[in-house]
Chain A
Amino acid sequence: MTSTALPPAPSSPETMPAAPAKVSRPRRRAASALRSERPSVRLSAWIAVIVCGGFALLPVYWLLATSLTPRDQVFSYPPKLIPTEITLDAYTSLFANPQLFTYLQNSIIVSVVTAVLSVFVSAYMGYSFSKFRYRGRRQLMYFVLASQMFPQALLLVTLYSVFSAYGLLNTYTALVLSFTTFTLPLCVWMLKGFFDTIPDELIEAARVDGASRLRTIHSIVLPLAAPGLVAAGLFAFVRGWNDFIFALTLAGPDKQTLPPGLVNTYVGEAATAWPELMAASLVVSLPVAIAFMLLQRYLVSGMTAGAVKG
Chain B
Amino acid sequence: MSASPLPNPAFTRRRALQLFGLGAATVALAGCSPTGTSGAASGAAGLNGADPTDFAFASWSLTEEAAKPALEAIIADYEKANGVSVKPTAFPYNEYINQLMLQVTGGQFTGAAHVDVAWLGSLAATGKLQDLSSLAKGRGYTDAALTAATFDGVQYALPWTIGAIGLVTNSEILGKVGVAPDAFPTTIDDFEKTLKDLKGLGGGLIPYAASTKAAQLKDILIWMQTFGSPLVDGDTITIGDDASIEAVAWYKSLYDQGLIAADVDRFDARSLFAQGRAAIYDDAPVGRGAVTGESPDPDLGSKLVPVSRPVLAAGDTPRALVWGGAIAVVSGSGAATAGDFAQFATSDLDTILADYAVRGLPPATEDALSSDAIASDVFGTQFSERITATATANPLWAFTAYSQIEAEVADRVQAVLVGSSSPKDAMKEAGAAARKLAG
Residues of A bordering B, CB below 8 Å? 71-77, 152-154, 156-158, 160-161, 164, 169, 245, 248-249, 253, 260, 263-273
B289 close to chain A: CB less than 8 A: yes
Q: Are B29 and A77 within 8 A (Cβ)? A: no
- What's the Cα separation between A247 and B324 when bound, in Å? 29
Q: Is the CB of B277 within 8 A of A77?
A: yes
A-B pairs with beta carbons under 8 Å apart, 7 shown: A71-B293, A157-B26, A248-B92, A249-B30, A263-B92, A264-B63, A268-B65
Besides the known contacts A249-B30, A271-B66, 11 further A-B residue pairs in the complex with CB atoms under 8 A apart? A75-B271, A75-B294, A76-B296, A153-B27, A157-B32, A161-B32, A248-B95, A260-B92, A268-B65, A270-B287, A271-B270
B286: chain A residues at CB < 8 Å are 269-270
Report the tally of A-B residue pairs with Cβ distances under 8 A: 99
List the 6 closest A-B pairs by CB distance, nearest first.
A153-B30, A161-B33, A271-B290, A160-B32, A268-B64, A156-B30
Q: How far is the CA of A76 from the CA of B274 in the complex (A)?
A: 9
Nearest Cβ on chain A to B223's Cβ, whole angstroms: 22
CB contacts (< 8 Å) of B106 on chain A: these are 160-161, 164
Q: Evaluate contact between B296 and A248: CB separation under 8 angstroms.
A: no
Cα distance, A154 to B108, chains bound together (Å): 19
Nearest to A156 among chain B residues (CB) is: B30
- A162 CB to closest chain B CB (Å) equals 9
Interface of A is mostly: helix
> How many residues of chain B have a CB within 8 Å of chain A?
42
Residues of B at the A interface (CB closer than 8 Å) are: 26-27, 29-33, 60-61, 63-67, 88-95, 99, 102, 106-108, 204, 267, 270-271, 274-275, 277, 286-287, 289-290, 293-296
Which A residues are in CB contact (< 8 Å) with B26? 157
Bound Cα distance A215, B255 (Å) = 72
A307 to B105, CA, bound (A): 46
Decide if B32 touches A156 in the complex (CB within 8 Å).
Answer: yes
Q: Kindly state the separation between the CA atoms of A273 and B65 in the bound complex, as whole angstroms.
A: 9
The CA of A157 and the CA of B270, in the complex, are separated in Å by 36
CA A6 to CA B392, docked complex, whole Å? 82
B99 to chain A minimum Cβ distance, whole angstroms, is 6
Q: Given A75-B275, A253-B89, A253-B90, answer yes or no on A265-B63 (Cβ-Cβ < 8 Å).
A: yes
Task: Given A249-B99, A249-B102, check contact A71 B33 (CB 8 Å).
Answer: no
Which residues does chain B contribute within 8 Å of A157, judged by CB atoms? 26, 30-33
A152 to B290, CA, bound (A): 34
Complex formed: what's the CA distance from A44 to B270 in Å?
Answer: 44
* Complex CA distance for A77 and B108, rounded to whole angstroms: 46
Give the residue of A72, A245, A263 whose beta carbon is less than 8 angstroms from that of B295.
A72
Could you tell me if B29 and A153 are in contact, using CB atoms closer than 8 angstroms?
A: yes
Instruction: For A267, give its contact among B29, B94, B270, B293 (CB under 8 Å).
Output: B94
Q: By the criterion CB–CB under 8 Å, are B294 and A271 in contact?
A: yes
Which residue in B29, B93, B274 is a CB contact (below 8 Å) of A75? Answer: B274
Most buried by A among B95, B107, B274, B277: B95
